[in-house]
Amino acid sequence: MALSRIWAAFIITAVLVASCKWIFNNDENIFSRMVVGKADDAVDSIGYIISGEPQKAANVSREAFVTNLGTYNYALKDSVQKAKVLITGNASSDSVKILKSLNPSIKIYTYGSLRNKLVRKTDGIIETCKSAVTISIGLIGILALFMGFLNIAEKAGGIRFLSRIVGPFFSKLFPELPKGHPAMGHMIMNFSANLLNLDNAATPFAIKAMQSLQELNPNKERASNAQIMFLCLHASGLTLIPVSIIAVRAAAKAQTPTDIFIPCLIVTFVATLAAMLIVSFRQKINIFQPVILGWIGGISAIIAVLVFYISTLNADRVQIFSGILSNGLLVAVLLLIVIGGAYKKINLFDAFVDGAKGGFETAVRIIPYLVGLLVAISMLRTSGVFDVIVTAIKDFFVAAGVDTRFVDGLPTALIRPLSGAGGRGMMVDTMKIFGPDSFAGRLSGIFQSSSDTTFYVVAVYFGAVGIKNTRYAVGSMLLADLVGIITSIFVAYLFFG
């Protein structure tokens, strides 16, 4: 029910904002953009000139202002005759009147009014539907591979062996699970894949865990306590080494691409603890039990050792170490599964094929959930809802006299729970506009690591097992996301001033 209301709210909000733009801003193409998107064609480029200095009116340097407009297909011209738009801080100044006389057809925007005119390249409803199916098709092979190996591991007893190891901890955190249930093994494999930044492996492990938990669920359409706890911990996105973010920073020629490593690790750890506390409070689980505290302390110690070691490496060595740790361990796990299956004299290939068949069925089953959710998110983006929110937040903090540098990184934080690709795109845009070593550039990277794509997680994993009533799962995930965002801002100021 909660997801249904949120989905409806997304669509209604998007249409209302679009209607306001149509009525008050005379944006006649807003509904077309929502349906078919905005193409990145040369004909869409808008030539402009600047009168005055942007930093006096828009609180941003001239270079950053020009770079930002370039992402919206605005091109700076060298003469007033070549421009369609004049951007100024004072529309009634004498210099503006002179420029207007040289080009009577030129449109005049102040820095404030221009913000309502900007439209970033986005996919509309039609392309988003295609993207949802493309995502599902892309998952088929990955799901088939790992679910095939998981089937071998289950028949060989490997999952139950893993469940017995984590049983003392998980039995306290998931009190409804029977001792040694295979779901414990599936969950620990998912958490391990997330920890090592193995997105391709984490998805099938999570789906398998949800399917195992669904077997114990008395109400097949209503999320169980164990399923909510698992997905909230999964969505908090605890990752040891944010390899993809470091790679983006390196590509953007950051002086020290790895300088966000420790802040990212702190933020994801805090977000994971927040998710655990939030759900434990709702489910009346006492997390101060010795077993839980012992496991959390042990994990914290391991992370501290890795932080100390990795902090001594340069950017190239961090990526090499991460590749060895992540991919090497994955290959080792697959090898151990095959060896274990051979030792138990299992028909390995038949077991693999039987498990892989479930990958195809699962990928097809989640298509309707992805289409519905991604379309609603697309409507929010194309209608300009995110731009309205960010502008309102920045204006509020400017009026309050508070430092607003963090607001420039907020688009990544706002879109990340809705779309992984969208969050990544916003992070790259922020680094392009403000620079990878700017406060906003570093903060956007920390935001990107602070959580997983909450609504994608809800759509895919609940959809994979047919859950319709998600109860308080979405609210708990978003609250943990909020903790991650606040912690990201605090840590960014602490490390980068």
Q: Which residue has the higher pLDDT, 307 or 19?
A: 19
Q: Which of 161, 179, 170, 160 is nearest to 229 (CA)?
A: 170
Q: What is the pLDDT of residues 310-355, one digit of tens each?
A: 777 776 777 677 667 767 777 888 898 899 999 988 899 998 998 8
pTM for the model stands at 0.72
Query: 223 pLDDT band (50/70/90 cuts)?
Result: very high
What is residue 50's three-state secondary structure?
A: strand
Looking at residue 214, its pLDDT comes to 92
Q: Is the pLDDT of residue 280 over 90?
A: yes
**Residue 147, both tokens:** 């679910």
Q: Which residue has the higher pLDDT, 374 or 221?
A: 221
Least trusted range by pLDDT, from 223-227, 242-246, 275-279, 446-450? 242-246
Query: 42 pLDDT band (50/70/90 cuts)?
Result: very low
Share of the chain above pLDDT 90, in %: 10
Query: 48 pLDDT band (50/70/90 cuts)?
Result: confident
- The amino acid sitting at 307 is V
Distance CA 11, CA 347 (A): 50
Looking at residue 225, its pLDDT comes to 93
Looking at residue 281, its pLDDT comes to 92
Burial class, 222, CB count within 10 angstroms (exposed 0-12 / middle 13-18 / buried 19+): middle
Helices of type H across 196-260? 199-215, 225-235, 243-251
Highest mean pLDDT among 37-41, 76-80, 218-222, 239-243: 218-222
Looking at residue 43, its pLDDT comes to 43
Q: Is the pLDDT of residue 493 over 70?
A: yes
What DSSP line would sit under 319-379, residue for residue?
HHHHHHHHHHHHHHHHHHHHHHHHHTT--HHHHHHHHHHHHHHHHHHTHHHHHHHHHHHHH
Query: 363 pLDDT band (50/70/90 cuts)?
Result: confident
Q: Which residues contact 433 (CB under 8 A, 6 or more apart)?
A: 64, 67, 68, 71, 408, 440
Distance CA 42, CA 188 (A): 50
Looking at residue 326, its pLDDT comes to 65
Looking at residue 313, its pLDDT comes to 76
Query: 76 pLDDT band (50/70/90 cuts)?
Result: confident
Distance CA 476, CA 459 (A): 15
Looking at residue 41, its pLDDT comes to 45
Looking at residue 77, its pLDDT comes to 84
Q: Which residue has the higher pLDDT, 448 or 252?
A: 448
Looking at residue 15, its pLDDT comes to 92
Q: Is the pLDDT of residue 130 over 80?
A: yes
- Mean of the per-residue pLDDT values of the chain: 81
Q: Is the pLDDT of residue 382 over 90?
A: no
Query: 277 pLDDT band (50/70/90 cuts)?
Result: very high
Q: What is the pLDDT of residues 175-220, one digit of tens each?
A: 888 887 888 888 888 887 777 666 666 778 888 889 899 999 999 9
